[in-house]
Amino acid sequence: MGDCIFCKIAEKQIKADIVYEDEQVLAFKDINAQAPVHVLVIPKEHIPTLNDIKDFSITSRLMAVITKLAKEYKIAQEGYRVVANCNAAAGQAVFHIHFHLLGGRNMQWPPG
Protein backbone atom coordinates (compact mmCIF):
# COMPACT_ATOMS: atom_id res chain seq x y z
CA MET A 1 0.00 0.00 0.00
CA GLY A 2 2.03 2.93 -1.29
CA ASP A 3 4.80 3.96 1.07
CA CYS A 4 3.83 1.70 3.97
CA ILE A 5 7.06 0.28 5.39
CA PHE A 6 5.29 -2.77 6.86
CA CYS A 7 3.69 -3.58 3.49
CA LYS A 8 7.13 -3.37 1.94
CA ILE A 9 8.50 -5.74 4.58
CA ALA A 10 5.60 -8.15 4.00
CA GLU A 11 6.27 -8.01 0.25
CA LYS A 12 10.02 -8.59 0.87
CA GLN A 13 10.93 -5.24 -0.68
CA ILE A 14 12.62 -4.27 2.59
CA LYS A 15 14.72 -6.74 4.53
CA ALA A 16 13.69 -7.67 8.09
CA ASP A 17 14.65 -10.32 10.62
CA ILE A 18 11.54 -12.46 10.07
CA VAL A 19 10.75 -14.93 12.85
CA TYR A 20 7.36 -16.18 11.61
CA GLU A 21 5.35 -16.14 8.41
CA ASP A 22 2.16 -17.69 7.09
CA GLU A 23 -0.40 -16.66 4.46
CA GLN A 24 -1.94 -13.93 6.64
CA VAL A 25 0.65 -12.94 9.24
CA LEU A 26 4.27 -11.85 9.39
CA ALA A 27 6.38 -11.40 12.55
CA PHE A 28 9.80 -9.82 12.69
CA LYS A 29 12.22 -8.43 15.26
CA ASP A 30 11.83 -4.74 16.06
CA ILE A 31 14.94 -2.82 15.00
CA ASN A 32 14.46 -0.51 18.01
CA ALA A 33 13.99 -3.24 20.62
CA GLN A 34 12.66 -2.14 24.01
CA ALA A 35 13.10 -5.55 25.66
CA PRO A 36 15.23 -8.67 25.14
CA VAL A 37 12.30 -10.06 23.15
CA HIS A 38 10.62 -7.43 20.97
CA VAL A 39 8.77 -8.78 17.95
CA LEU A 40 6.29 -6.98 15.72
CA VAL A 41 3.36 -9.08 14.55
CA ILE A 42 1.45 -7.72 11.54
CA PRO A 43 -1.24 -8.82 9.13
CA LYS A 44 0.03 -8.99 5.56
CA GLU A 45 -3.10 -7.12 4.50
CA HIS A 46 -2.77 -3.37 4.88
CA ILE A 47 -5.09 -2.17 7.65
CA PRO A 48 -4.12 1.35 8.82
CA THR A 49 -5.48 1.34 12.40
CA LEU A 50 -7.40 -0.87 14.78
CA ASN A 51 -10.43 1.28 13.94
CA ASP A 52 -10.21 0.07 10.34
CA ILE A 53 -10.53 -3.67 11.01
CA LYS A 54 -13.52 -5.07 9.14
CA ASP A 55 -12.95 -8.81 9.59
CA PHE A 56 -11.97 -9.51 13.19
CA SER A 57 -10.80 -13.02 12.40
CA ILE A 58 -7.43 -11.41 11.65
CA THR A 59 -7.11 -10.38 15.29
CA SER A 60 -7.62 -13.99 16.38
CA ARG A 61 -4.92 -15.08 13.95
CA LEU A 62 -2.52 -12.39 15.19
CA MET A 63 -3.12 -13.40 18.83
CA ALA A 64 -2.55 -17.07 17.98
CA VAL A 65 0.82 -16.16 16.47
CA ILE A 66 1.70 -13.98 19.47
CA THR A 67 1.06 -16.79 21.95
CA LYS A 68 2.99 -19.24 19.75
CA LEU A 69 5.98 -16.89 19.64
CA ALA A 70 5.80 -16.24 23.40
CA LYS A 71 6.13 -19.98 23.96
CA GLU A 72 8.96 -20.30 21.42
CA TYR A 73 10.87 -17.42 23.04
CA LYS A 74 10.24 -18.99 26.47
CA ILE A 75 8.53 -15.91 27.90
CA ALA A 76 5.01 -17.35 28.15
CA GLN A 77 5.35 -18.66 31.71
CA GLU A 78 7.19 -15.70 33.21
CA GLY A 79 5.08 -13.13 31.40
CA TYR A 80 5.04 -10.82 28.43
CA ARG A 81 3.32 -7.68 27.23
CA VAL A 82 1.36 -7.15 24.01
CA VAL A 83 0.98 -3.54 22.89
CA ALA A 84 -1.08 -2.04 20.08
CA ASN A 85 -1.24 1.71 19.55
CA CYS A 86 -4.15 3.27 17.67
CA ASN A 87 -3.55 6.64 16.01
CA ALA A 88 -0.89 9.27 16.62
CA ALA A 89 -1.94 10.43 20.11
CA ALA A 90 -1.47 6.85 21.35
CA GLY A 91 1.97 6.59 19.74
CA GLN A 92 1.17 4.82 16.47
CA ALA A 93 4.01 5.77 14.12
CA VAL A 94 3.42 3.25 11.33
CA PHE A 95 -0.16 3.22 10.07
CA HIS A 96 -0.42 -0.50 9.45
CA ILE A 97 -1.81 -2.36 12.44
CA HIS A 98 0.81 -4.18 14.43
CA PHE A 99 1.24 -5.72 17.82
CA HIS A 100 4.43 -5.48 19.85
CA LEU A 101 5.34 -8.67 21.71
CA LEU A 102 7.67 -7.67 24.56
CA GLY A 103 9.29 -9.91 27.14
CA GLY A 104 12.43 -11.09 28.82
CA ARG A 105 12.47 -8.33 31.45
CA ASN A 106 10.17 -6.93 34.12
CA MET A 107 7.68 -4.45 32.72
CA GLN A 108 6.69 -1.23 34.49
CA TRP A 109 3.19 0.14 35.07
CA PRO A 110 1.86 2.53 33.98
CA PRO A 111 3.50 1.97 30.58
CA GLY A 112 3.88 5.62 29.61
Cα–Cα distance for residue pair 67/73, rounded to 1 Å: 10
Residues 46, 89 contacting (CB under 8 angstroms): no
Q: Active-site residue 98, yes or no?
A: yes
Marked catalytic residue, from 38, 96, 98, 100: 98
Q: What is the three-state SS of 74-106? A: CCCCCCEEEECCCCHHHCCCCCCCCEEEEECCC
Task: Give the helix/strand (H/E) hosting 8.
Answer: helix 5-10
Catalytic residue numbers, as ranges = 98
